[in-house]
């Protein structure tokens, strides 16, 4: 019974992480597009850079959260 409770808690934790990732990626795409337009660049530079930074930060957070040295 305790194992099933731990599995549900882990499922909700990863579901929250996935939701956070989707929202932050969408936000970074929107902000990157807006900033590219404000700066007046012809190429979409920040539309690529900001989501990559979000992905990198998310992977670092995931690695730190799942490390065994707590």
pTM: 0.75
State the pLDDT at residue 69. 64
At residue 42, the 3 state secondary structure works out as coil
- Other Cβ atoms within 10 Å of 43 Cβ, number: 8
- Residue 20 CA to residue 28 CA, distance in Å, equals 12
17 vs 50, more confident: 50
Token digits of residue 19: 């939701």
Residue 70 has pLDDT above 70, yes or no: no
Q: Which long-range contacts (CB under 8 A, 24 or more apart) does 64-67 make?
A: none
Residue 4 has pLDDT above 80, yes or no: no
Residue 64 has pLDDT above 60, yes or no: yes
Residue 8 CA, distance from chain mean position: 22
């Amino acid at each position: 019974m305790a194992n099933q409770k731990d599995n549900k808690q882990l499922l909700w934790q990863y579901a929250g992480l996935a939701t956070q990732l989707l929202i932050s990626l969408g936000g970074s795409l929107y902000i990157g597009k807006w900033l590219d337009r404000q700066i007046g660049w012809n190429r979409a530079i920040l539309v690529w850079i900001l989501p990559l930074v979000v992905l990198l930060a998310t992977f670092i957070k995931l690695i730190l959260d799942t490390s065994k040295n707590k």
